[in-house]
Amino acid sequence: MSASANAVVGARRPGRLLHQLASTFGVEVIGFVAGIGFSVIVTRLLGPAGKGAFAAAMSAVGIVVALSGAGLAKSLLHYAGRNQEAAPAYGSAALQILPLMIVGAALATGVFLVGESPYGWQTWALGTALAAATVVGGLLEAMRRAQRHISIANIANLTQTLGQLALVGGAFATIGLDFRVVLACVLGAWVLRCAVLAATLRPWPTIQWSLDRARLRELLAYGISYQGYAVLWVLHTRLVVVLVERWASLDAAGFYSTGANLAQLLWRLPIVVSFVTIPIMTSAKTSREAAELTALSCRLLLPVAAVTAATFYLFSDPIISFLYENRFLASADVLRVLLPGSVASVLYLVLVGHLLARKRLGALFVVGALGAAMNLTLNWILIPAGHAGGAALASCLSYTFSFLLALAVVVRSEDVPLRHYFLVQRSDLELILRRARGD
C-alpha cells in the first residue's frame, strides 16, 4: 500500500473501520444464509410460473421505489454523515415530503400491477404498501448510519431477514402460499425493520409544519441528481425480469430470477463496504484520500468475488438441483452466464460509492444511462429468441460495460494508478493481520 493509502486508513481509525466491516459482514453472512433459505422455500413452493410472477412484482416495486424515493436516503446519508449534529434536522426535513413520496409510489405501482395478468388490485395494494415501507425504512436506516450507529442498522437488517423467513414459514403452515401471500410476508418483514429502526432512533427527528426550505433544497438537489442514476440502475437490473415475463413467459421469468438471485449475492460485498466507507470518503480532506480508500476496497474485494463466482460456476448444476429441484436446472445456465458480469458489478458498485461520495453525479448519470441503454437494447434483441438465457447474456455484457466506464471515469480523474484497483499488495495483508491481532 502506498504511503498516502496508509495515511488515509490511519487517519480514519482503521481498527474501528475493520470492526464495523467485520460486524456488518457477519450480519450479511446470516442474511446470506437466511436469504438463500427464503429463496429456496419460495421457489420450491411457487414453482417457475409463480416465482416469475413474484419476481416481476418485486421488480416493479423496486422500480417504483427508485422513481418515488427522490434519492432522499442517499442524500440524507451524505449530508447527515458530514454533519452529525445536524442529522435530526435533516431527518425532519426529509419527513416533510414523505407523504408526497408515498402518493407517488401508489400511482407508479398502478402502472405496473393493475390490469396486467396475473396481477390486480390486491397486488397493487400490497405493492404500494411495500414501496412505502421501503422508502420509510431507507430514510430511517440512513439516519442511523449517518450517526455511525452501524450496529443498530445491522440488527434491523437481521430482524427483517429472519422475520421474512419466519413469516413465510408461518404462512405456508397455516394458509398456504401464492405469490401475493409471499408479497404480504415481505411487507411484514419491512414493517419489522422500520419498527426496530424507529424505536432505537435517538434523537428522533421532530415533525415541523413549516417547511425547512434550506435543508430541503440541499436534500432534493443532491437526491434528485442521484435519483437519475438510481432509476437507471434499477431499470438496468430489475426491469429485465418484467421484460422476460412479458416478452417470453412467467416460467422464463422464474428461471431468470432464480439464477440472477444467486449471481447477485456477490453484490452484498460492496454494499457492506459502502455503508462504512461512504461517510468516510464524504469527509475525506482530499480526493486522493477517497480514491486510495476506493482502490483498497476494490483490490481486496476482487479476489473474494472471483473465488466465490468460480465456485458457483463449477458447481452451478448441483447447487441449483439441490436448492431448487431439477425443474429449475435452466436457472443454472442463467447463473453461469451472469457470473462474470456479477464480478464486474462488485467493483462497479464500489466505484459508484466513490463517485457518490465525491459528488460526481453528472459522470455517474452518464455511466448509468449508457449501461441501461445497452442493457435495454440487448434485451430487446436477445429475450425473444433466447428467453432467460438471452436476458442473462444481455445483463452480463451491460454490467461489464458499466464497470469499465466507471473505472475509466475514476482513474482519469484521480491520482491513483490503475493497478492499485486490482493488485493486492503485501502491505494490505500485513495491515489486515495487524488489525485482526489488535496491534
DSSP 175: T
Look at 335 and 435; give whichever has higher pLDDT. 335
Question: Looking at the chain, how many residues does it have?
Answer: 439
In the predicted model, what is the mean pLDDT of residues 133-140?
Answer: 82
- Contact yes or no for 282/355 (Cβ under 8 A): no
In the predicted model, what is the mean pLDDT of residues 110-139?
Answer: 76
Rounded to an integer, what distance in angstroms lies between the CA atom of residue 102 and that of residue 112?
Answer: 16
The residue type found at 374 is: M
Residue 408's pLDDT band (cuts 50, 70, 90): very high
Residue 400's pLDDT band (cuts 50, 70, 90): very high
- Contact yes or no for 416/288 (Cβ under 8 A): yes
Q: Comparing C-alpha atoms, which of 157, 164, 152, 207 is closest to residue 188? A: 164
In the predicted model, what is the mean pLDDT of residues 214-235?
Answer: 77
Rounded to an integer, what distance in angstroms lies between the CA atom of residue 244 and that of residue 379?
Answer: 9
Give the 3-state secondary structure of residue 359.
Answer: coil
The total of other beta-carbon atoms located within 10 Å of residue 285's CB is: 9
Whether the pLDDT of residue 74 is over 80: the answer is no
Whether the pLDDT of residue 194 is over 90: the answer is no
Give the 3-state secondary structure of residue 55.
Answer: helix
Whether the pLDDT of residue 3 is over 80: the answer is no
Look at 297 and 290; give whichever has higher pLDDT. 297
The residue type found at 130 is: L
State residue 283's pLDDT score. 52
User: Where along the chain do its domains lie?
Assistant: 3-437
Look at 303 and 85; give whichever has higher pLDDT. 303
In the predicted model, what is the mean pLDDT of residues 321-339?
Answer: 94
- Contact yes or no for 56/296 (Cβ under 8 A): no
Q: Comparing C-alpha atoms, which of 381, 308, 394, 387 is closest to residue 343? A: 308
State residue 115's pLDDT score. 56
CB-based contacts of 192: which residues, under 8 Å, 6+ apart?
A: 159, 160, 163
- Contact yes or no for 279/358 (Cβ under 8 A): no
In the predicted model, what is the mean pLDDT of residues 192-198?
Answer: 87
Write out pLDDT tens, residues 248-290: 999 999 999 999 998 988 887 666 665 555 555 555 556 677 7
Burial of 419 (0-12, 13-18, 19+ CB in 10 A): exposed
Rounded to an integer, what distance in angstroms lies between the CA atom of residue 335 and that of residue 315?
Answer: 10
Considering the entire predicted model, what is its pTM? 0.78
State residue 320's pLDDT score. 94
Rounded to an integer, what distance in angstroms lies between the CA atom of residue 254 and that of residue 260?
Answer: 10
DSSP string, 78-100: HHHHH-GGGHHHHHHHHHHTHHH
Look at 371 and 61; give whichever has higher pLDDT. 371
Residue 384's pLDDT band (cuts 50, 70, 90): very high
State residue 8's pLDDT score. 41
In the predicted model, what is the mean pLDDT of residues 312-334?
Answer: 94
In the predicted model, what is the mean pLDDT of residues 32-36?
Answer: 77
The least confident of 27-36, 168-177, 344-353 is 27-36
Whether the pLDDT of residue 85 is over 90: the answer is no
The total of other beta-carbon atoms located within 10 Å of residue 305's CB is: 20
Write out pLDDT tens, residues 148-185: 556 677 788 888 888 998 999 899 888 888 888 999 99
State residue 110's pLDDT score. 66
Percent of the chain with pLDDT over 70: 74
In the predicted model, what is the mean pLDDT of residues 336-365?
Answer: 89
The total of other beta-carbon atoms located within 10 Å of residue 57's CB is: 29
Rounded to an integer, what distance in angstroms lies between the CA atom of residue 90 and that of residue 79?
Answer: 8
In the predicted model, what is the mean pLDDT of residues 315-343?
Answer: 94
Cell of residue 432, nine digits:
489486515
Calculate the average pLDDT of the chain. 79
Residue 16's pLDDT band (cuts 50, 70, 90): low
Q: Which of 32-46, 60-74, 144-158 has the highest mean pLDDT?
A: 32-46
- Contact yes or no for 351/410 (Cβ under 8 A): yes
The least confident of 3-17, 210-224, 249-263, 337-351 is 3-17
Peptide bond into 270 cis (omega under 30): no
